[in-house]
Copies of this chain bind each other. A is one copy, B any other.
Amino acid sequence: MYQALTDQKLIKEIPDGGILTPKGFKCGGIHAGLRYNKLDLGMIVSEAAANCAAVYTTSHFQAAPLVVTQESISSDGVLQAVVVNSACANACTGEQGYKDALRMRALAAEKLGIPETHVAVASTGVIGEFMQMEKIEAGIAKLAVGNDSEHAKDFQTAILTTDLVMKHACYSADIDGLTVSVGGAAKGSGMIHPNMATMLGFLTTDANISSADLTYALQEVTNTTFNQITVDGDTSTNDMVLVMANGAAGNEPLNRDHPEWLIFVELLKESCASLAKQIARDGEGATKLIEISVSGAMSDEEARMIGKQIAGSNLVKTAVYGADANWGRIIGAIGQSQATVNPKTVDISLGDLIMLKEGTPIAFDEEIAREYLMNDKVEIFVDLHLGEGKGMAWGCDLSYDYVKINASYRT
């Protein structure tokens, strides 16, 4: 259905677009001194209070900024700004951490002259260290927002940790004859194995949509995008995806009865999918993006489970890194899935190369397979031949550099 919409060109990608493409948003980022020499504090501001939706990590240890953001959203159901820092996650920091997140929110609200509960707070970085509040305070005072590409880049950079590249995406479409856009920025490189939200993702849209309908759309979209990527199987304490919808496009309110509802969902989905794939490709130490497509499962959910199991397998990841077409490892990953599998009906292909047909190995040219695995995107197809369920997942290979980065993260 959604694919059909893209095929019909009802929605289009804005190649250099991001959080400032939708009308009525500004942003910025500065070096507050939390990190040695990288921008580390950013802010997105909407011209008007915006309806909003968010999903959060399922970790038992939700960091303080997530608690504060939930309090903000549950207060009036609108947000006008989000303030984000990298370097320090403000997680497992107890009462002091909660107070620090509240203070960060208050400082941003004061600067902008808006209610505290209209500000969301997000943090990413090392767990268990306290925020350097004097730097945050000075940083927020100094932070300037604007709506040009330099400000967008500053924000996109300020939220990164071990990421190598900025992640941004934007799609737009005509709704009620008006241009509606969804843009986003994200960070995430390690501790990536979403189980709800995954990392930090911030989306803006000028669509006119209620918080309830936006929440419905975001949850649906998150399950097939951010929740389907994995870098290392670990779920962070700080994962959050947040959308602000300020209504500046002037369309009729979007909801499931609106004739163009699916176009909006697709805008959101394509933006989230693009950011999700950018995160997987930039996984710590990654040299390749791995895309898994599963079909013939008993349900879409089971197809997604199997896809993620394959994407998360260290043995599959190292084989792809080494360009070794060892499909037995894909079998290992599918084999332990909770999903229904009949070993006698499984097909596996690597790109165009069939490796297993109805559970029986098919001879293939190792050299061609090796060459295929040298590409910077590797596609794995699995057909279970059991039902109509299908789904996708994304991951990356596991390299020496993953070990290098993670054996010395704090030092």
Q: Which 5 A-B pairs have the closest CB atoms?
A: A127-B328, A322-B407, A59-B335, A318-B406, A235-B336
Any B CB within 8 A of the CB of A399: yes
A329 x B234 contact (CB < 8 A): yes
B127 x A332 contact (CB < 8 A): yes
Any B CB within 8 A of the CB of A93: yes
User: Chain B CB within 10 Å — which of A329, A332, A359 has the most?
Assistant: A332
Interface locus among A145-153, A244-252, A254-262, A307-315:
A307-315
Shortest Cβ distance from A411 into chain B, in angstroms?
6
Shortest Cβ distance from A144 into chain B, in angstroms?
32
Copy number in this complex? 2
Shortest Cβ distance from A397 into chain B, in angstroms?
9
How far does the alpha carbon of A191 sit from the alpha carbon of B330 in the complex, in Å? Answer: 12
Any B CB within 8 A of the CB of A92: yes
How far does the alpha carbon of A234 sit from the alpha carbon of B334 in the complex, in Å? Answer: 10
Known interface pairs A332-B234, A334-B60; A361-B93 also in contact (CB < 8 Å) = yes
How far does the alpha carbon of A118 sit from the alpha carbon of B407 in the complex, in Å? Answer: 49
How far does the alpha carbon of A399 sit from the alpha carbon of B313 in the complex, in Å? Answer: 16
Any B CB within 8 A of the CB of A356: yes
A92 x B359 contact (CB < 8 A): yes
B128 x A328 contact (CB < 8 A): yes
**B-chain residues with CB within 8 Å of residue A237 when the two chains form the complex:** 328, 331-332, 335
Shortest Cβ distance from A408 into chain B, in angstroms?
5
Instruction: Give 24 A-B contacts (CB < 8 Å), ordered by A residue.
Output: A59-B332, A60-B341, A61-B334, A91-B331, A94-B360, A94-B361, A126-B326, A127-B329, A127-B331, A128-B327, A128-B328, A191-B332, A195-B336, A234-B314, A237-B328, A237-B332, A314-B314, A318-B406, A321-B403, A322-B411, A324-B408, A324-B411, A326-B409, A398-B403
Any B CB within 8 A of the CB of A218: no
How far does the alpha carbon of A58 sit from the alpha carbon of B336 in the complex, in Å? Answer: 7
**B-chain residues with CB within 8 Å of residue A387 when the two chains form the complex:** none
**B-chain residues with CB within 8 Å of residue A235 when the two chains form the complex:** 332, 335-336
A407 x B318 contact (CB < 8 A): yes
